[in-house]
Structure 1
Amino acid sequence: MFLGIKLLQLLLIFNTLLFNIFFNDGIRAGYVSSSQKNIDILQYYLKLDLNWGKKLITGETKILAHKLISDQKNIDLHFYGNMIVKKVSSDSAVLKFHHIKNILSIDVSEINRDTIEFTIQYYGTPKKSGFNGFVFGEINNIPLIYNLSEPNYTPSWFPCDDDPEDKALFDIEITNDTSFVSVSNGRLVNVENKGEKRTYHWKSNYPISTYLIAVYSSKYISFTQTYKSISGKELPLEFYVLPDHLEEAKKDFAEHKEMLEAFENLFGEYPFADDKYGVAEFLWNYGAMETQTITGIGYNLVSGKNFARDILAHELAHHWWGNAVGPKIWKDIWLNEGFASYSEALFLEYKFGDASLQSAMRGKFSEYFRGSLYNPVNLFSETVYDKGAWVLHMLRNEIGDSNFFGSLKKYYEVFKYTNASTEDFKSICESVSNQNLDKFFDDWVYNDKGIIRCNYSLSDDKTILIAQSNEEFNDFHFNLELKIIYSDGSTEFKTFRVENSKVKFNLNSVKRIKEVIPDPNGKLLAIFNEEGHQQ
């Protein structure tokens, strides 16, 4: 998910309020009942009949699930209590159920199989939840139906196990009036007209977490492109926009092939090549959402002036980081958002060079990140996004480019289509780099120790003295690049290892030194002050 700067600021200001919003419904524990972890959902087959005028969903969810405990008597799903469950049935019987508050508990004691299939019929008007939930909206007299379900608001519109680790295959049939184009995850299987109704059947060939499931239905106009992946596969690119934005969208979305090329070279082949990649406009105008294979982007962000470049790169990158490799629990969300935020900068570096990378990272710099990356108080804070990007940038400096990008590729290949934890990522980086990264992850991921602050001075024209000056913590270890400017106008770069709060480095220069600039290429989340000056 990409959040606009203003919304990030609001999230920081109203941190306590947002804690209550985002961490309800069992999100801290990762489940809503003790038995939710006792099932593995294998497949959802969802049928939705949408009535925009009445703001009504009539739904049918068929679930194929595996009981992890053979004698399990009940299956508990997360489903908002304002939605009305009409019937739950298996292939042989009507099943008893209880729907209390936000838990739908289904009696499966009479089904003597470990793998079971059952269907839930329901209807109702979804309750507004999270950033948006499920919305029957309108703009310029054009109806637009969409959802934004991260982190745990999919149960506001269909019953599911909303644990991000419980990925499943997914089919959806969306029925609406014939004037609507309905879009979802995966490949389009079929379009069928029945009187004044039209049904779109979409099928995902890859497992998906429920928060990444998409419904976009409006009077869209579409255009398509084709991208040839690094393996030679032809990937359809599909774009769905409102009629007044067609030309603007063609301009704004034109860089997707370059972004795909960059990320495939940096991370590995696009993970959903047998499905598609696409973008659809919706009405959440604070950013975008990386719903799997079909990103949703705010209507007001499509301008034809390429203002949404970073947003589009961010959401595409999520298809590696967040979608293909998902978080085991929401405490690991920086593996989604920090990675996607750094990918914005990586694309600019790939296309324009190192100066663009440095500029992008300066734009993410802050002295005032609050809280740890792992298990953040606020899932969608500036810390998770921008500090997350900076920690990856510093990890790259810590282990070197070859090891860093080798780690990303291995991490992707090992955990693709499953879920990973921070410790999983750390283990991959240690394996590839052959370095112990305990201190790096302790200082930068698991704890909030501020940023690097140093005072420095040049002594006897050959020695630089550096003293860490962060009052809260002054024992960061890091590789420090120095730019040495000589009196004759020539320059030289040297790198030293800082492993103490106060260090002295001999620059071994035979020339007269005019100036020394620490970290000239912005590789560290740091502030260096020359004694007697302010940098």
Structure 2
Amino acid sequence: MKTILSICILLLTSVSFAFGQNWDWGGPIDPLQEKFEVKHYRLELELFPESKSIKGKSTVTFSTNTQLDTLRLDLIDEYKVTSVQANGVEMEFSHKSDLLDILITDCSCDAVEIFYEGITPIAINPPWEGGFTWKKDNLGNDWMGLSSQGEGAKIFMPALDHPSSEPSEGVDLVITVPKPYFVAANGVLDQVKQNGKKQTYYWSTDYPINNYGINFTMGIFHEEKQTFTSVSGDQIPMHVWVLQENKDKAQDILEVLKVSTETHEKYFGAYPWPNDKVAIVETPYLGMEHQTINAYGNFYRFVRMGSVNYDNLLHHELGHEWFGNKVSVGDWADFWIHEGITAYGDWLFYLEHGGEEAYFEKVNGTLKSISHSKPVASPVNSTEEEAYHSEIYTKGAYIMHSLRGILGDEVFFPMLKAFANDPRFTYENQVNTRDFIDFVNSFTGEDLEGFFQLYLYSTNIPEVKISKKGNKGFEVSLQGIDFQLPVEVKTDEGIETMRLGRKPVLINSTTQPIVDPRGWLMLKK
């Protein structure tokens, strides 16, 4: 996520991290980590607000097709690992350079338990520069949020910390906090146990989940809930947890969440996590797409859109439940699939509730901010920091808008929903840009390779050239491309779609033609 609301902040701030570290992730996967897959994480942690520290253990269940000498996990050096065990036996380990190497020679184990503790890294500028955010609410209660999209899970637990690694059997989060604090986390709340002045929350999900989507938030919250009826027919719990000071806003934001979920379902298909919940929790930072427990910190800044209220941050983060969580990439090179399609989902809210005029006003306003400074798709094996820039949102969304214009609504919208629900690209099966291009071409029967290569992989933009020919003739072409694009052209007889490319097309009109009058394509005019 790192919501589109504050891209300007990202562009104006340099990257620095707590403790002076740059905990980027992605890039080529470590050869030792290619040898195994994580099936499940069980994280048992106690949170200590006064010291801003954590203590506990993580159980990592894995599978491998080879004999492992070393199980290499990622965990920042700021934590102290006190013990590693497998089958109740102490294991030798090394913890340095943010790597935890566990020596498992001659061990038939498929799980390890790591005991660790330490002061948490503090988020400098969450969620862009993530970590733990420890604050007090306006009533003096402790309030903790966690953000880690740019850093990965290693800032809070031992993990195979690469975007290609998602635990196929989900995660258990067992979080202990002082009374009377509540913990909101992924999945379903199975039970709450009391132990003197402490209480422990047992959350679990069986769905695959990306590392930065694993999350927990602590605070004193007011809860509102209802049952959401999905287009699939599933009855899904829907929750909002807001600070006590904002409890008078809880019912309103619950309704906003409901409308946004319905809107996403119309264009993307059924909510992806029906066995868990739809939920948001108020966080001491702007927002993030944590699976089934989206972070919300937008101060209830609703705007009226048609007959409903709209919160652009809530809607954007919720859209990541489809693109980012359900459809996820294994290489940050393809980050735009998360952010660009989700940002386009924001524009679809304008279309659905404000109509075509509101939609095109949003589209054309965004176009002015696109500088074409970097390709939308990054080189293979990019890190998160290398791949993350504003145009994966804005230009990524505009590419989707252009596809709508090229394909027409009767093809585009079924194509979008089909992509979001194709089992080849969802849940445990990740996706890349090549998959998306091939899917669009196959689904539509069109050859859009030139379009995708131009707008995804380059910073070049076709230039419209119009030359007068005789009294009623104009030659129109698109310079800078070696293929043709279907483009709307407005003449004295109205709007007609023509295939334009480098070779000029003669158009008869008493007035100069206007190429792409509604703004479907990114063109130099």
Mapped partners of 1:519, 1:252: distance in 2: 39
User: Out of 405, 412, 418, which is 1:397 matched to?
Assistant: 405
The answer to whether structure 1 residue 420 and structure 2 residue 418 are counterparts is: no
* 8 Å Cα contact 2:25/2:152 also seen in 1: no
Cα displacement (A) at 1:301: 2.8
Decide which of 359, 364, 377 is 1:374's aligned counterpart.
377
Structure-2 separation of matches of 1:22 and 1:466:
55
The whole-number CA distance in structure 2 between the counterparts of 1:81 and 1:422 is 34
The CA deviation string for residues 168-192 of structure 1, in whole angstroms up to 9 with x for no partner, is: 1111111111221101001111111
Query: Structure 2 vs 1, CA of residues 18 and 230 (structure 1 numbering), >3 Å: closer, same or farther?
Result: same
Unpaired segments ≥5 residues, structure 2: 380-384
Paired-residue identity, %: 26
CA–CA distance in structure 2, aligned partners of residues 62 and 275 of structure 1: 22
Alignment match, 1:101:
97
Question: What SS is found at the alignment partner of 1:353?
Answer: helix
> By how many angstroms is 1:2 displaced?
4.0
Whole-angstrom distance in 2 between the partners of 1:138 and 1:379: 34
Task: Report the counterpart of residue 67 of structure 1 in structure 2.
Answer: 64
Inter-CA distance 323–249: structure 2 relative to 1 (3 Å threshold): same
Counterpart of 2:396? 388
Which residue is equivalent to 2:518? Answer: 521
Q: Distance between the aligned counterparts of 1:118 and 1:28, measured in 2? A: 23
Query: Counterparts of 1:132 and 1:24 in 2: how far apart (Å)?
Result: 11
Question: In the alignment, does 2:415 pair up with 1:407?
Answer: yes
RMSD: 2.6
Superposed, 1:64-463 pairs within 5 Å as: 64-69=61-66, 71-112=67-108, 116-128=110-122, 131-140=129-138, 141-168=140-167, 169-284=170-285, 287-298=286-297, 300-303=298-301, 309-365=311-367, 366-375=369-378, 378-412=386-420, 413-414=422-423, 415-417=425-427, 418-449=429-460, 451-456=461-466, 459=469, 462-463=472-473
**Taking structure 2 as the reference length, what is the TM-score of the superposition?**
0.89
1:485 Cα deviation (Å)?
Answer: 4.5
In structure 2, the residue matched to 1:44 is 41
CA distance in 2, matches of 1:142, 1:28: 36
Task: Work out whether residues 185 and 291 of structure 1, in 8 Å CA contact, stay in contact via their aligned partners in 2.
Answer: yes
What is the match of residue 382 of structure 2? Answer: none
Alignment deviations for residues 83-121 of structure 1 (CA, whole Å, 9 cap, x no partner):
0111111124111111012000011113135xx011111
Unaligned runs of 5+ in 1: 487-491, 529-535
- Paired residue type of 1:403: V
Which whole-Å deviations, capped at 9, do the CAs of 1:497-533 have from their partners, x for residues lacking one? Answer: 1121x522335x7xxx4564332322112343xxxxx
1:481 — aligned with what? 488
Structure 1 pair 316/327, CA: closer, same or farther in 2 (3 Å)?
A: same
CA distance in 2, matches of 1:478, 1:246: 52
Instruction: Provide the C-alpha distance between the structure 2 equivalents of 1:396 and 1:206, rounded to a whole number of angstroms.
Output: 32
Count residues in correspondence.
505
Q: Distance in 2 between matches of 1:475 and 1:406?
A: 29
What amino acid is aligned across from residue 485 of structure 2 in structure 1? F
SS at match of 2:204: strand
Q: Are the structure 2 counterparts of residues 304 and 14 from structure 1 closer, same or farther at C-alpha, using a change threshold of 3 Å?
A: closer
Quote the Cα distance in structure 1 between the aligned partners of 2:512 and 2:20: 50
Q: Distance in 1 between matches of 2:408 and 2:302?
A: 38
Does the 8 Å contact 1:181/1:218 carry over to 2?
A: yes
Contact 1:30 1:330 in 2 (8 A): no
Shift of 1:146: 1.3
Letter in 2 for 1:158: M
1:60 partner letter: K
Equivalent-residue separation in structure 2 for 1:13 and 1:218 (angstroms): 31
